[in-house]
Structure 1
């Protein structure tokens, strides 16, 4: 089995979602008595926000690259981020990383194409949704023929605020869930989107297919499947206990 490395802490709640999903994915493929070889380098989502807010993408690249170097030193053979916002500098990270990286953006784009999706609503942090910085996410989709629609400016600000002050701290409220569902419903009615991209890895804490007016592209579920594929490869299941 290939040893995985993930950058955690960006934020802590999504790191837990990733760890659980990777473990469950490996067990589903190889049996309940098999767990992944996995190491976590915990950084800070708030440092990521500070770098992005200052437009210091060189600093962000250096900060994350140091994390990937630590993962490689711990024996990781394949690595990934566990957040969407740091993908702003993903191409730079690929060049600097000592190990191959698995992109969440590419994984979600591929899933959208496989589902025959024509138009998606993107929800995420302000940095992921902002017209000034969202090209790292929207361009791969539009290049694949999938139109990306954004909330309006006030909604972008509100979603960012609720992510940073609630979800990143593990706070889940019905009010925030209802507000996000309302945004999805408004954009769906106005723009006719097929699906919503949960483009922040904390969003699955409050959104899923059972509450959303349109089907969700769950970034955590989709990305972790790709990571399980990378970890398991052609490994055969062992006999049960």
Structure 2
């Protein structure tokens, strides 16, 4: 029986920007795994094999242009160590997915599951043609530091308002520092959502889905949850289920 467990792909989560984001992705992965297995789920024995590396220095990614060299050195070392233990890994930070080309160029034995690629797969499957995106400044400005620039070739991206960009960036800092339940966090987030024109909003920052939302404001899509479901699919195969 133990041999069959070892045939399951192993999953890695790189976190630290911030550490709560890694916990959030892990929780959502466990939830997605349980739902995917359904009646086949047996409890602990069917939980995915997960390795988590948390590196505080990755928090420098909030100001990526100023900290590129230090962030990349830390992320590269972490990914190289992670790749020796897992088959697939994700970075629990939308901004850090900017380094996808550099990580893929390393030709590590583990495959990166990209946040931006996963979001694009969802938008295309759901046939969503216009979307707004909320994230940290390097992400939401769709400049050279944004891993989501590729979306513009496939969907109509709502152009970011300069005031909204700064409001979201500060909100993310405040969630990191004070927590998602701090006074006025929920109200500020609601006001930002109300200022957007698009009906569908991608939450492309791992802190934003932690904030409780009032129902009916917008259709918000948690990219972390999309990645969690993809990791759950990779961690399980129908062949393994059928052989039990």
TM-score scaled by length of structure 2: 0.85
Written as runs of structure 1 = structure 2, the 5 A alignment for 1:1-241 is: 1-30=8-37, 31-33=41-43, 34-44=46-56, 45-50=58-63, 52-54=64-66, 56-73=67-84, 75-98=85-108, 99-133=110-144, 135-139=146-150, 141-144=151-154, 146-167=155-176, 169-173=178-182, 175-188=184-197, 193-206=198-211, 208=213, 210-211=214-215, 213-234=217-238, 235-236=240-241
Deviations 1:7-49, CA, capped at 9 Å, x for gaps: 0222112111111111122222330411110101111242323
* 1:136-155 deviation line (CA, Å, top 9, x unaligned): 2032x2222x1111431122
Residue 177 of structure 1 deviates from its aligned partner by 2.0
Contact 2:132 2:196 in 1 (8 A): yes
* Partner deviation per Cα, 1:72-92 (whole Å, 9 max, x = no partner): 23x211111111000112111
Q: How many residues align?
A: 229
- After superposition, what is the alpha-carbon deviation per residue over 1:171-194, rounded to whole angstroms, capped at 9, x for unaligned? 424622222222222222xxxx13
Distance 2:78 2:124 in 1: 31
Where does structure 2 lack aligned partners over 5 or more consecutive residues?
1-7
Task: State whether residues 112 and 217 of structure 1, in contact with CA within 8 Å, keep that contact through their aligned partners in structure 2.
Answer: no
Q: CA deviation at 1:6?
A: 0.9
With structure 1 as the length reference, what TM-score do the two structures score? Answer: 0.86
Tell me how far apart the structure 2 counterparts of residues 19 and 166 of structure 1 sit (CA, whole Å).
Answer: 19
Instruction: Give the distance between the partners of 2:176 and 2:75, measured in 1 at CA.
Output: 22
Task: State which drifts further: 62-71 or 218-227.
Answer: 62-71
1:130 CA displacement: 2.1
1:69-128, Cα deviation, whole Å (9 max, x unpaired):
11123x211111111000112111111251111111111111112222111111001111
Which consecutive unaligned segments of at least 5 residues does structure 1 have?
Answer: none
Output the CA distance in 1 between the equivalents of 2:145 and 2:107. 23
